Chains A and B, each alone.
Chain A
């Protein structure tokens, strides 16, 4: 359920229940909280949590527990009282000796476990959001990513007939080249989509095209997967660099078309 390893979660909850029933001491609760959360992060999920995240969580837990134990003089005195008794009272001498052996042994085991950890290559996480370069050059024409805009967009208001022609050309380009992957309806579900990882962009998504300036889309069309930036490599995009196959006008036209087809406007400069 919810990706949780239920037997572990229930066992930890049961121990917590017993502590409530037995009205456990504050120190016991603190030790239980740290141990239970460690066990939960380590074994509580069907897909284990990455070590880096578990370390962050345990550090926060540790800080919070220390803050709680020392948040008043009375609570601090209550928390450390069993520790004082363990150290000072003769009847606990055996337990104290055991602890004095156990703590260095635990540290030694930890050092041993760290040193004998199986070596593995570091993982390369993919960067999902490529940041475009400040400007690109397509067919000897420089496009500024901040101020660049689709040169035919203004025809929508100025010359609707000419705008229609560009749209029509964009439609032709799309259904000759793009729909194989991006799909008939632009949902990122074309006939080749199932063979690609990551899957092609879904242009129906309101979070994709409206959030991008047309210059960004032009960059992705012209430069494709090979033109993705250095930071965040390796990229796995199968998108071709269409500048090698299409004219500049064809690329701006298909850019116009995918926005028009989905009923979106490109994000303007200065728009949140």
Chain B
């Protein structure tokens, strides 16, 4: 018996089962218990209907419900609940999904515009094609962003009506500009996408530029809403004593005093900066994951070469944006601490501090993944073996820094471990859990990643600059001086007071940034018109490299979800910190384990939806549908016509 017959038999069986079940149910209901007395029988003979006990019960229940509904006075609901998952988790997941798609939609135009501009300046068509490939992802993602934005808005109105009403009371004047900007965003986005090749290059670049301006403005408005919830006021030296004062945007009862102060609040600008950079890093990584997805599907060498290059550029954008991200994060955290010591201590030393150990593990993975991809990329070029010997040392540096960064100050320990250590911190390892060690580790990680990139850039190329030896030595001196300075401050930090130690982070950061800039400035002329020892073979990457790109995108997404929770969760039992209390049953702070589970599920949903976006975006490149060829007497008929 073949497979089709079995499937057909199962289908018939299922159909018959359904019919039998329905008929049986009907039979049982029709023959239910009735009172057997003569009076009822007489009533039935006279045509009066009689209710069975079950039917009578239903009628009584309906009457009672109706009476109760009429007696109940109208009340404004403060909160509503969602069965099983709860209202907080519902809004949390919706907000996160909206934000992830929004971040992607804001980031892709940014680097698509830059790539298109580079193509315009260099007069190279391949850049134009690449920018268009990135933009293809936007259309569906934009709809997803809007859909989850609507979900989130309805979620807030239904589940947190009183609080949502309060936010409307504060920010209602910003809603109309927001909607108008959203309309403009749609206009520019679709004209940018559908107008590809239809407008002149300057006009098209202008559309891309406007798309970015409008998108950024939208984000700035939405950022005001969420940062107000954390810091409802601005910082200003009102009394002129040189010390900043807190100017509250609302009264003690929550009434609006100044929309300007509510909008341009304490943490608004740090979030704006952090989000722009993080969006680019995230968008680059997702675009690279898309390229990886297409690379793995690619059938021809040409397709493979194209998507390999696309993945490389996406990852390059992600890593370049990622390098300054720890500094932007540091700025944001410092501003949160400056606004409220409660929030600051809670974040870095209290309940939420353990999430920063997880953050360290994720960022370590990102660095490792990014370097790994670069090392594999050396295989694209002839002559790549020359630099392979350095990988070992780079890997040791990266793994050591990763381990230092992930070392907790106070370890999770059993009773016997605590007894052996004499406390929650290990006598030797606790040194690695301090800020001096962490700052040193992250700076060396950045330098190592940059070194990997330099090696990749040099693979298969030979400088023809007349002073190449001198310039290479200068680069080596700058690099080792920066590394030495970072390590010096890291070690010296243990010998000075905490207040001075904190300030050491600044020269460490500046020395690394200066090294990156100086080395790049030297490297550009050094390798201009360099002699190629072999051809760069795009598309010659092992499959594992593409999984590395997907891994990087996954880590970025997880990181965004986690840190988004930290920023939002820090308020704890407050809707608006210090002003509007959360009195819902969900006001408690969830355990770290539960929070990470919610983040993980959200990331899974996002990647599932992203799969749909990738699939829809790839449909454009597929062949048009044609009727199947039909064999007829040895002749093949196609498209309904005789061959």
Contacts and interface: CB of A to CB of B under 8 A. Distances in A.
Nearest to B242: A268
B481 interface: no
Contacts of A50: 411-414, 417, 421, 426
B411 A52 contact: yes
A128 B412 contact: no
Scoring B403, B418, B497 by chain A CB atoms within 10 A of each residue's CB, the highest score goes to B403
B239 to A, nearest CB: 10
A146 B340 contact: yes
Given A125-B418, A130-B345, A134-B577, A211 B379 contact: no
A42 to B, nearest CB: 13
A131 B399 contact: no
B245 A51 contact: no
A124 to B, nearest CB: 8
B389 to A, nearest CB: 11
A206 B342 contact: no
Given A73-B379, A122-B415, A45 B365 contact: no
Given A52-B411, A67-B372, A132-B342, A47 B497 contact: no
20 contacts: A50-B411, A50-B413, A50-B417, A50-B421, A53-B426, A60-B402, A67-B395, A72-B379, A120-B414, A121-B415, A122-B414, A123-B412, A125-B413, A126-B410, A126-B423, A131-B349, A135-B578, A145-B341, A207-B498, A268-B244
A48 B499 contact: no
Contact of B245 (A130, A267, A270): A270
A123 B415 contact: yes
A3 B410 CA distance: 18
Given A56-B406, A64-B368, A232 B424 contact: no
A271 interface: yes
Contacts of B578: 134-135, 144, 146
A269 B350 contact: no
A166 to B, nearest CB: 20
B413 A60 contact: no
A70 interface: yes
Contact of A3 (B365, B427, B577): B427
Contacts of B339: 146, 269-270
Nearest to B372: A67
Given A61-B399, A131-B350, A73 B574 contact: no
Given A3-B428, A130-B350, A48 B403 contact: no
A139 interface: no
B53 interface: no
Interface in B377-417: 378-379, 384-385, 388, 391-392, 395, 398-399, 402-403, 406-408, 410-417
Given A64-B398, A71-B376, 11 more contacts: A51-B417, A64-B402, A67-B368, A71-B372, A131-B345, A132-B345, A147-B248, A206-B500, A231-B350, A271-B243, A272-B337
Lowest 7 CB-CB distances: which A-B pairs, in order?
A: A207-B498, A129-B349, A270-B244, A125-B424, A131-B346, A64-B399, A131-B345
Given A47-B421, A48-B417, A134-B574, A57 B403 contact: yes
B201 interface: no
B449 to A, nearest CB: 13
Contacts of B57: none
Contacts of B244: 268-271
A70 B384 contact: no
Residue among B365, B414, B544 facing the most chain A CB atoms (10 A cut-off)? B414
Interface string A203-224: 0011100111100100000000
B349 A127 contact: yes
Given A50-B413, A123-B417, A231 B577 contact: no
Given A231-B350, A270-B235, A45 B376 contact: no
B399 A60 contact: yes
B416 A133 contact: no
* A67, A121, A206, A232 pick with most chain B CB within 10 angstroms: A67
Contacts of A131: 342-343, 345-346, 349-351
Interface of A: 2-3, 45, 47-53, 56-57, 60-61, 63-64, 67-68, 70-75, 120-123, 125-135, 144-147, 205-207, 210-213, 216, 231-232, 267-272
Contacts of B334: 272
Contact of A145 (B340, B395, B413, B422): B340
A211 B334 CA distance: 13
Contact of B345 (A3, A47, A129): A129
B391 A2 contact: no
Contacts of B388: 71-72, 74-75
A45 B411 CA distance: 16
B16 interface: no
B375 interface: yes
B415 A120 contact: yes
Nearest to A3: B428
Nearest to A229: B350
B376 A231 contact: no
B493 interface: no
A49 B349 contact: no
B410 A125 contact: yes
A180 to B, nearest CB: 25
B338 A272 contact: yes
A75 B413 CA distance: 39
B428 A2 contact: yes
A134 B578 CA distance: 7
A71 B391 contact: yes
A212 B341 contact: yes
A121 B416 CA distance: 9
A209 to B, nearest CB: 10
Contacts of B343: 131
B155 interface: no
A33 to B, nearest CB: 10
B361 interface: yes
A45 to B, nearest CB: 7
A123 B414 contact: yes
A73 B248 CA distance: 61
B64 interface: no
Contacts of A147: 246, 248
B338 A271 contact: yes
Contacts of B118: none
Contacts of A268: 243-244
A126 B424 contact: yes
Nearest to A135: B578
A210 to B, nearest CB: 6
A207 B499 contact: yes
Given A64-B395, A130-B350, A207-B499, A72 B424 contact: no
Given A60-B402, A206-B498, A270-B244, A125 B342 contact: no
A27 to B, nearest CB: 15
B364 interface: yes
B429 interface: yes
Interface in B333-368: 334, 337-343, 345-346, 348-351, 361, 364-365, 368
A126 B353 CA distance: 13
B420 interface: yes
Contacts of A128: 349, 410
